[in-house]
Amino acid sequence: AVVVSTVDTRRRLPENPVRSITSGCGRGVTFISPYHRDRLPPLTEAEPPIHPEAILARMKDLQGVSERFRLTGAVHSAALALHDRIIKVADDIGRHNAVDKVIGWALRSLWPLPPGAMLLSTGRLSSEIVVKSVRARVSVLVSHSAPTLGAVQLAHDLGLTLIGFARGSRCNVYTHTRRIAL
């Protein structure tokens, strides 16, 4: 079952850049606020809607092809996928690094991305991951984990379809449901 979740996107996080600890692994510090929407053009492309079954199947595929994750449970995996198949998978101890590896590969090998491309992740969806997806022009971001409030707000503002808790036969669609065949 697909659950369309509502999050109050009117309650805003601070807009001004401040020194803060990032939600990534380690001791990352940032002075760049991902909330500067004027520097990130929103995703407005019209794409064929993706069936929830295809999203869940690609997440299952990701968990099946990530041998390191399956053996250790200590790494994150990310993938670039289409409706019917995974195109590229990367593993890393850091969820940001796994996403960076997949996006880097796509920029070198498959640019522009085909319509309906999805970015899949095994990690929590933070605002930084949303920014990476939008900058790469991937309009659907999926994880089997949860998104942060900042990620949901930013995805809403930037036109990104954000999906969390994609496991088994369920997923939560947080923003821009127009890309999902409900």
Q: CA 178, CA 87: separation in Å to the nearest integer?
A: 24
CB atoms inside a 10 Å sphere around CB 137: 14
* Options 5, 7, 22, 25, the catalytic residue: 25
User: Is 171 noted as a catalytic residue in this protein?
Assistant: no
Gap between the Cα atoms of 143 and 123, Å rounded: 6
Q: How far apart are CA 147 and CA 86, in angstroms?
A: 22
Closest CA to 145 of 127, 132, 126: 126
**Catalytic residue positions, numbered:** 25
